[in-house]
Amino acid sequence: MENPFYYMRPGHVIAAAVALSVVDILVVGLRFWARKAQKQLLGSDDWLMVPATLVTVGMGISQLYGVSQKALGYRTVIPDGYKGNPFELLEWTFFLMLPIATGCMKASLLLFYKRVFVIQKQSGINTLLKAFIVFTVAWIIAFFFAMFFKCGRDLWALWDSQVEFQAHCSSNSNLILSLCITDFITDVLIISIPIPLVLRLQLSPSKKLGVCLVFLLGAGTLVASIIRFVLMAGSYLGTINITNDSILGTTACLYWGMIECGVGVVAACLPTIHFFLRRRIWEPALRSTKSIFSSQSTKSTRTSWVDRAYQDSIRVQQSFQVTYDEIPDSSSGPTWPNYLPSVSNERLVRESYLMQDRVAKVVE
């Protein structure tokens, strides 16, 4: 008996579904918080991540349900007399949600590009991005309804036996293969759009590279997309046969679909939250680290300076406020200005003033 790959096992399927769902919710919440902290208006690119995240979480829930019913992650075992359909309905539901999730992510990235790069409405980049957005919406609608009506008007066959399903429903292979191919191609094109735009900016080569890397963070989703495409294409062409078990084969396809969507949500949010995190967390942390090391090198110098100040009857506080005590002479009483009260010989007069980035020294 063949040993299934890790992505066909129940534990890995559950871990991916739970972990990615939680991370996606946190990242999208951080995206909205970043917009609020930066006092920026929420745009369509932000709101589109809400349905993308909800649908991705729904995909994870469907996988958890499939594992609980042993319709995913387990070898096919059909009891005697069983006439149900163990995994076709689950696969149909999953691939209904997949184009919605990935399509919303693509549209969100395109709208984010409009927010960042489009200055004039009549510019060529604005026209290009609008064309991509229209294509993405059409892509979502086309694959959603193609999957929804895969059994034509005989949707009841999805809940019936495997025999009825095969008799009334078309094969998923061609449709899913087309989905994988177009999904991968559009991902490559969308992720490549900002690169030539950044290279045209008047920045140093190092800064251009840094900005390009930020926008290329979304390339992480291409890895899962490539793996899913290779598995589907290899199975369709007969060149790659990872398993002879129908349920394990479906598990592999759904697992990498979940990975693609889960990583895609994070990748679509990273360009937005990166700039905020850099200013609010990474740069302050770096400055704090530098100040710690610099304070160690100047500690002895500062201590000796304060000691000398105390010897000269000067108290130097952290805020650079200088306080000194003076004992007035009774013989100088008549020469005091009228707005200062007269004092006895035994009474101290205390005055304070703020230093203006200078050091004053009183010599007794």
95 or 323: whose pLDDT is higher? 95
Quick one: 276 and 328 in the same domain?
Answer: no
What value does the mean pLDDT of the chain take? 76
184 with 270, same domain?
yes
**Residue position matching structure tokens 């319709």:** 71
Question: What is the sign of the dihedral through the CA atoms of 14, 20, 23 and 28?
Answer: negative
**42 domain-assigned:** yes
| Residue 250, pLDDT score | 82
- Please say if the pLDDT value at position 145 is more than 80: yes
The residue segments making up the domain with residue 329 are 312-354
10 within a domain of the structure (yes/no): yes
- Number of independent structural domains in the chain: 2
Residues 159 and 244 in one domain: yes
Rounded-to-integer distance, Cα 129 and Cα 110, Å: 6
345 and 264 both lie in a single domain: no
* Residue at which a domain ends, from 254, 288, 322: 288
- Mean of the pLDDT values across residues 301-329? 45
The answer as to whether 246 is a domain residue is yes
Domain containing residue 42: CATH number: 1.20.1070
Query: What sections of 38-87 are H helices per DSSP?
Result: 44-47, 49-68
Are residues 283 and 316 both part of a single domain? no
Does one domain contain both 264 and 324? no
- pLDDT of the residue at 186: 92
| Average pLDDT of the segment spanning 210-229 | 77
Ranges 104-118, 162-176, 231-245, 319-333, most confident = 104-118
Note whether 31 and 166 are same-domain residues: yes
Residues 220, 260: contact at Cβ < 8 Å? no
Q: Which amino acid is at 104?
A: C
Query: Is residue 36, in this structure, part of any structural domain at all?
Result: yes
279 assigned to some structural domain: yes
- Confidence (pLDDT) at 251: 87
Tell me: do 274 and 341 sit in the same domain.
no
45-49, 146-150, 196-200, 272-276 — most confident range? 45-49
Unique residue bearing structure tokens 């230093």: 355
Tokens of 27: 């990242």
pTM above 0.75, yes or no: no
Same domain, 194 and 257: yes
